[in-house]
């Protein structure tokens, strides 16, 4: 995905960049990915705390994985849309040198399983300085 972060995809996706973010998509399933650095050398736990504090108040199905590397946080959110998409699945993987913010939009609720697997597969590669 980047020199620093990798993800395992469950099959082929189209790819484009939009508004500075990576967009992976196939019919009925879209993933927006933003990668952030750790410019202030804050701990992963403190950055995760800020992410959790900024989560939408309407978030549901909130999950958190601590004791893993990277730390993970996710939730669902029902958003206003003109199409028949399911509630979005938002995830964050927070590592030592940065974090990934990833949003999954899908039309079939069964795709939530794949979205969760992709979030769990996000890994921070060791970059030699």
pLDDT digits (tens, 9 = 90+) for 2-30: 568 889 999 999 999 999 999 999 999 99
**Which structural domain range is residue 57 located in?**
5-124
Give start and end residues of each alpha helix (H) in 1-129. 44-54, 111-121
Burial class (CB in 10 A: 0-12, 13-18, 19+), 38: middle
Is residue 129 assigned to a domain? Answer: no
State whether residue 98 is helix, strand or coil.
strand
Is residue 40 assigned to a domain? Answer: yes
Question: CA 26 to CA 125: how far, in whole Å?
Answer: 26
CB contact at 8 A, 75 and 90: yes
CB contact at 8 A, 21 and 81: no
Task: Report which of 56, 45, 64 is spatially closest to residue 119, judged by C-alpha positions.
Answer: 64
Can you spell out the DSSP letters for 28-42?
TEEEEEEEEE-TT--
pLDDT digits (tens, 9 = 90+) for 28-70: 999 999 999 888 888 999 999 999 999 999 999 999 988 778 9
If you average pLDDT over every residue of the chain, what do you get? 90
The CATH number covering residue 18 comes to: 3.40.1000.10
Is residue 76 assigned to a domain? Answer: yes
Q: How many domains does the chain have?
A: 1
Is residue 56 assigned to a domain? Answer: yes
pTM: 0.89
């Amino acid at each position: 995905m980047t020199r620093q972060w990798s993800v395992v995809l469950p099959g082929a996706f189209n790819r484009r960049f939009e508004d500075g973010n990576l967009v992976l998509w196939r019919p009925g399933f879209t993933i927006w990915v933003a990668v952030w650095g750790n410019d202030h050398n804050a701990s992963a736990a403190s950055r995760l705390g800020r992410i959790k504090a900024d989560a939408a108040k309407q978030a549901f199905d909130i999950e958190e994985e601590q004791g893993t590397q990277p730390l993970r946080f996710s939730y669902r959110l029902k958003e206003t849309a003109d199409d028949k998409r399911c509630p979005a699945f938002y995830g964050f993987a927070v590592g030592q040198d940065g974090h990934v913010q990833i949003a999954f939009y899908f039309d079939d609720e069964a795709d939530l399983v794949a979205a969760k697997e992709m979030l769990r597969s996000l890994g921070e590669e060791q970059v030699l300085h």
